Amino acid sequence: MTQTDTTTAGSGGSGATGGSGRADGLLAPVPDEDGAPFFRYAARGELRVQSCADCGEPRFPPRPCCPHCQSFDSLWTKMSGRGRIWSYVLPHPPLLPGYAAQAPYNVILVELADAPRIRLVGNLVASADAALNSVPPERLRIGAPVKAAFHETDDGLTVVRWLLERP
Ligand SMILES: [Zn+2]
C-alpha cells in the first residue's frame, strides 16, 4: 500500500492508493482491503486507527500483521480526532491541472494526540467542505493544534481533513 504522493495529495486519507480522477480534477483515494475500514469509519464521522488486538500498538498505514509482535489480530481504535501539525508542504506548479487551479494550497502531516507515532497526511482547510486553498499559507505553523473534519468527496468517499483548533 502506498500513500498518495505528497506533491499532488489533495484527498486526505489513508489505506488507499492514488486513484481515479474526479470531476474537480483531484485524485480520489481507492481504498484497499486493509484500508477500507478507515473510510467506513470516516463516513460515520469517526477517526479510527488500526491497532494490534494482542499488544495494542497502533499502526499506520493499515496492514495485516503487527510489526511489533507479528500478530494478525487487529481492531480499529477510535481517536479523539485531535493532533498537531508535525510538518507541511505548500505544493506549487508544475501540478496536475485540478491541483494547479488551487495552488498554493497545503499538505500537512498530522501527529495524532492519542497515538503520537501515527502521522496522517491531509489538508488543512477552513471547514470540512472548503477548498484546498481555504487556509492562507501564512496560517500554517508547525505544532499548531488541529482537529479532524470529515469531507464527502464527489464520488461518495469520505476523507479526513483538518481544521485549526484556533481558527
Ligand atoms: Zn502487536
Q: What is the mean pLDDT of residues 70-95?
A: 97
- pLDDT per residue as tens digits for the range 109-128: 999 999 999 999 999 999 99
Ligand 1 centroid–CA 57 distance in Å is 6
Ligand 1 centroid–CA 127 distance in Å is 36
Ligand 1 centroid–CA 162 distance in Å is 29
pTM for the whole structure: 0.86
Q: Is the pLDDT of residue 8 over 50?
A: no
Ligand 1 centroid–CA 135 distance in Å is 38
Joined grid coordinates for residue 164: 485549526
Query: Which of 16-20, 34-38, 66-70, 142-146 is the least confident region?
Result: 16-20
Ligand 1 centroid–CA 52 distance in Å is 5
What counts of helices (H) and strands (E) characterise the chain?
Answer: 2, 9
Ligand 1 centroid–CA 73 distance in Å is 8
Provide the mean pLDDT of the chain: 89
Q: What is the mean pLDDT of residues 145-156?
A: 95
What is residue 2's predicted lDDT score, i.e. its pLDDT? 38
* DSSP result, 110-135: EEESS-TT-EEEE-B-SSTTS-TT-S
Ligand 1 centroid–CA 54 distance in Å is 5
pLDDT category, 21, cuts 50, 70, 90?
Answer: low
Ligand 1 centroid–CA 60 distance in Å is 13
Ligand 1 centroid–CA 36 distance in Å is 20
What is residue 63's predicted lDDT score, i.e. its pLDDT? 97
What is residue 151's predicted lDDT score, i.e. its pLDDT? 97
Radius of gyration from C-alpha coordinates of the chain: 15
Ligand 1 centroid–CA 113 distance in Å is 20
Cβ pair 81, 114 in contact under 8 A: no
Chain centroid, CA 56 distance in Å: 22
Ligand 1 centroid–CA 115 distance in Å is 15
Cα 112 from Cα 72, distance rounded (Å): 24
